[in-house]
Chain A
Amino acid sequence: MADRIAQVLADQIEAICANASARLTGRAEFAGDQRHLAAALSTLAAALIDAARDDQPERLSDAALALGRDDGDPCRGYGRVQLLLDVLCSESVEALRRVVLGSEGKEASARLRGLLGPAMLGLADLCRQTDQAGPPEAGAERGS
């Protein structure tokens, strides 16, 4: 299944990125920043395919965190990366649906989400770590 997902995504990567880009171009978060948007999308899409193939969510998380760090303050860039991941992932789910049908398709979507979830939570961790004062409950949260 992992290979199948990776293959479908790889086959449609251009369409996925184009659709995601079309949805995000109009958003204020990316206004006047087309090149950055295109570059970020293709980096994340490649990472998503890697993560899907190897069933290693960290591949996507690492790419997302690198983007988060690029913004200097990850809390400032959080919304942008969150949006990129969400739209990229939902376009990828759409792409999967076109090819993988029925209950198999559902499972494929769920697996894809299984890659996105840790990336999102990892991004939140990154924001927490950059706080100078030190989080009172964050350690417990991460440890759980």
Chain B
Amino acid sequence: MADGRVLVVDDEPDHGLTVRAILARDAVAVDFAASPEDALAQACQQTYDVAILDLRMPGRDGLSLMHALRRGQPSLRVIILTAYPSPTTCRTALTEGASAYLEKPCAPEALRAMVASLLAQSSKSP
């Protein structure tokens, strides 16, 4: 399957673990960070193709983390996950540059498919 490395950031460890397990089924390398700080630290060590960011996290929200991660890795594709969906959140996330937006309870099949598509895009135009 597609090569690439994915970073899952969620302050809900159980949720992050399930996302990681599902994505790892496609032989994708997946790292997990339980906080925005951990995510930034890991992004210093690793280059990622796709990041899956929970929108609401203590300290720094997913969109702000997206901008921070992109400063180091401009071609990073981002999927925003949220447990508080609203049309405004959806529009904000997408116009600020997220590739996709998913509502929790998240659609695992759709997530898996999107990650595969984004990784394919990423390998074509790194």
Contacts and interface: CB of A to CB of B under 8 A. Distances in A.
Interface of A: 73, 75-76, 78-79, 82-83, 85-87, 89-90, 93, 110, 113-118, 120-121, 124, 127-128, 130-131, 133, 135-138, 140-141, 144
B109 A86 contact: yes
A110 B1 CA distance: 9
A127 B116 contact: no
Contact of A90 (B96, B98, B100, B108): B108
A144 B125 contact: yes
Contact of B113 (A76, A120, A140): A120
A79 B103 CA distance: 7
Interface stretch (B5-13, B37-45, B87-95): B87-95
A113 B109 CA distance: 7
Contact of A93 (B75, B107, B109): B109
Given A117-B118, A120-B100, A124-B99, 19 more contacts: A75-B91, A79-B103, A87-B109, A89-B109, A89-B113, A90-B108, A90-B109, A116-B113, A117-B115, A117-B116, A118-B117, A121-B118, A124-B94, A124-B100, A124-B101, A127-B101, A135-B94, A136-B97, A137-B96
